[in-house]
A and B are shown apart, each in its own frame.
Chain A
Amino acid sequence: MPIAKMDNVIKNYKVGKVEVPALRGISLDIQEGEFTSIAGPSGSGKTTMLNLIGCLDKPTSGRVDVSNQDVSKLSSNRLADVRNYNLGFIFQTFNLIPVLSAFENVEFPLILLKKGTPKERKDMAMNMLNELGIMELAHRKPAEMSGGQQQRVAIARALVKGPKIVLADEPTANLDSVTGEGILKLMQDINQKTKTTFIFSTHDPMVMSYARRLVKVHDGKIQADERK
């Protein structure tokens, strides 16, 4: 049973009065525990695919299933619930809340989920920081951390609630190659250890080399789907 599924998905955006096609009939199954890269040049449709699987957007036509649930026609509040319980996000620009410390940023999704007591939430957040080797950054604000450190905090924030799928939109694009490789290795380790499904977009061949499944898109269509 796939954890995420796209069935003949078409997505058009309106730019002024013109409709611009972003996806032109995409069908794709992502199995639980896969470490998948969606690769392609700018404008190929990879971010749109992540947005649809991430329940941040709705398809123009076709069907998107996440965790065995058709999310194509859900209300914005129901979509928020699906994101809250099933999905974790890692962004290219980290998007940590600047006024919160690393610990507070990691604790934030647990507060949204109302998961556990304050002490349990604290333990979960600290354990996650510990697992990612950034325990010493717990009380630092984002502005006091390097890009790589911020992205590690962002990964901890995505993983802390135990999501079924982690979606990462070009997670290494704002990092130097050494730090970027470190982040990819970390994601790979977590995937192997926890069997959490990772889907990440990129146009960087180095990043693609880490994926065990590579879905290449071009002009809104899947060009190739390779498993290693």
Chain B
Amino acid sequence: MTFLAIALGLAMLIIVDSMLTGIDQESFDRIINYETGHIKIFDREYREDEENMPLDKSIDNPAALITKVGTDPDVVGVTSRINFRIMLSDGIDQYPAVGIAVNPADDESVFLLKQAVAKGEFLKGSEEAMLLGEGLAEDFGVDVGDYMTVLTRTKYDTYQAIDLRIKGILKTEDPKIDYAAVVIPLGLGQESLDMGKGVTEIDIKLKDPARIQEFRDMLAKDIPGMEVATWKDLAADVIAISQAKRGGTSFMLFSIFVIALIGISNTILLAAFERTREIGMMAAMGMKRGQIVRLFVLEGAMIGVLGSITGCLLGILINIPFVKYGINWGFVMRDVGDIGYRVTGVSHGVWNINMIVIAFVAGILISALTSIYPARVASKMEPTEALRKA
């Protein structure tokens, strides 16, 4: 039965790793595809006060910079946005939310918002319309064609209220969008917020995501007055939370593994005591202590092999539906609130071959190593003592 403990530990390791890696990958993809692109350019002062979305620290003349970046052969797309704080109201209730003014003409060169319109249509030109996150629409009980009031402050801190028709509902699976975002056309945003031609950020998508850091460093040298940040810089807190969660989960799995290993050690020790006479007989026939140690270590390793094979197979089998269909976290994510992950519904597992190989080899090696102590105890029995025992 000891091998089952190892098998369950390894299977859990494979499944939990698959789910966590899957959630991480999907979260990072959504951050890039809906929030940050690969690289963002801000005004330096804006970056320092980013939390408050200060409209007076914007990039006032983005056109030249957009053209300059856009001509770089490494760049696939460039767009610009304004992020601003709002209160959203249906005339009865009001909730705080984030306004995102996007350029309908080129937003899809960097982001996937256009593809995330689940109902209605994407924005055009500078029309007086908005896209609403699916969660917000549910909370307000509104739908495409309904009107809502966006209350905000302009660049000069004066109040502004605009009534906008809901043109589309967004379903991105990113809670920052689905539960908290109102998207309007950039032209409308610039006019309503007294921004002139200004934007708060320029967003860039590269051909080769592996060159993000290199490109960022080059660009930062080129435009010294600006702040250039990669998506990893911008999602540093999410990455840190993810690593912390992984650390906690790894510790839990490590504990399970240790318990399984204590089980192996105990099993080998019991086997040694149960077979005391056998050990005595083997010693009488001329088996040396080293050979007896090897015999029991081999037995431990065989338990490890059996546990590793069973555990890896079990983990792979259970992981197949997780990878293919995923798990719907929708029932818990909304109540849990913002925990960093960009998941509102289904999240898929991934195949991490490295983890499966590591789990397999570790199961065998650690089982064999754990058997050394009881094997040495067995080998130290005097043959005469061992033969005398019943």
Q: Which residues of A contact B (CB under 8 A)?
A: 51, 54, 56-57, 76-77, 80-81, 83-85, 87, 89, 91, 93, 95, 97-98, 108-109, 112-113, 157
A4 to chain B, nearest CB (A): 16
13 A-B pairs within 8 Å (CB atoms) are namely: A56-B284, A56-B387, A76-B288, A80-B286, A83-B283, A83-B286, A89-B285, A95-B277, A95-B281, A109-B285, A109-B286, A112-B285, A157-B285
Q: CB distance B288 to A77 under 8 Å? A: yes
Chain A: CB-nearest residue to B287:
A112
B278 within 8 A of A: yes
A57 surroundings in chain B (CB, below 8 A): 382-384
B286 surroundings in chain A (CB, below 8 A): 80-81, 83-85, 87, 109, 112-113
Q: Does more than half of chain B's interface fall in helix, strand or loop, or is it mixed?
A: helix
A36 to chain B, nearest CB (A): 19
A127 to chain B, nearest CB (A): 19
**CA gap between A117 and B101 in the complex, in Å:** 83
Identify 19 new A-B residue pairs, CB closer than 8 A, beyond the known A80-B283, A85-B286, A109-B286.
A51-B384, A54-B284, A56-B283, A56-B284, A56-B383, A57-B382, A57-B384, A80-B286, A80-B289, A83-B283, A83-B285, A84-B285, A89-B284, A91-B281, A95-B278, A95-B387, A112-B285, A112-B286, A157-B285
A89 to chain B, nearest CB (A): 5
Q: List 8 tightest A-B contacts by C-beta distance, closest first.
A: A84-B286, A95-B281, A83-B286, A80-B288, A56-B383, A89-B284, A56-B384, A80-B286
Chain B: CB-nearest residue to A13:
B384
B284 surroundings in chain A (CB, below 8 A): 54, 56, 83, 89
B349 to chain A, nearest CB (A): 41
A97 surroundings in chain B (CB, below 8 A): 278, 281
**CA gap between A77 and B283 in the complex, in Å:** 10
Q: CB distance B383 to A77 under 8 Å? A: no
Bitwise, B80-124 to A at CB < 8 A (1) or not (0) is: 000000000000000000000000000000000000000000000
CB within 8 Å of A: which of B327-384?
A: 382-384
**CA gap between A81 and B291 in the complex, in Å:** 12
A80 surroundings in chain B (CB, below 8 A): 283, 286-289
**CA gap between A112 and B288 in the complex, in Å:** 10
**CA gap between A93 and B278 in the complex, in Å:** 11
**CA gap between A81 and B384 in the complex, in Å:** 16
B288 surroundings in chain A (CB, below 8 A): 76-77, 80
A83 surroundings in chain B (CB, below 8 A): 283-286
Q: Does more than half of chain A's interface fall in helix, strand or loop, or is it mixed?
A: helix
B378 to chain A, nearest CB (A): 14
**CA gap between A97 and B287 in the complex, in Å:** 14
**CA gap between A95 and B278 in the complex, in Å:** 7
B384 surroundings in chain A (CB, below 8 A): 51, 56-57
B387 surroundings in chain A (CB, below 8 A): 56, 91, 95
Report if A77-B281 is in contact (Cβ < 8 Å); known contacts: A51-B384, A56-B384.
no
A91 surroundings in chain B (CB, below 8 A): 281, 387
Chain A: CB-nearest residue to B284:
A89
Residue of B280, B291, B384 with most partner-chain A CB within 10 A: B384
Chain A: CB-nearest residue to B288:
A80
B285 surroundings in chain A (CB, below 8 A): 83-84, 89, 108-109, 112, 157
Report if A93-B283 is in contact (Cβ < 8 Å); known contacts: A56-B384, A76-B289, A77-B289.
no
A92 to chain B, nearest CB (A): 9
Chain B: CB-nearest residue to A52:
B384
B383 surroundings in chain A (CB, below 8 A): 56-57
**CA gap between A83 and B288 in the complex, in Å:** 10
Bitwise, B281-304 to A at CB < 8 A (1) or not (0) is: 101111111110000000000000
Chain A: CB-nearest residue to B383:
A56
Chain A: CB-nearest residue to B285:
A109
B289 surroundings in chain A (CB, below 8 A): 76-77, 80
CB within 8 Å of A: which of B266-323?
A: 277-278, 280-281, 283-291
A113 surroundings in chain B (CB, below 8 A): 286
A159 to chain B, nearest CB (A): 12
A93 surroundings in chain B (CB, below 8 A): 277
**CA gap between A54 and B382 in the complex, in Å:** 13
A161 to chain B, nearest CB (A): 9
**CA gap between A57 and B386 in the complex, in Å:** 12
A108 surroundings in chain B (CB, below 8 A): 285
Chain B: CB-nearest residue to A50:
B384
Bitwise, B234-247 to A at CB < 8 A (1) or not (0) is: 00000000000000
**CA gap between A87 and B281 in the complex, in Å:** 13
B3 to chain A, nearest CB (A): 17
**CA gap between A57 and B382 in the complex, in Å:** 8
Chain B: CB-nearest residue to A81:
B286
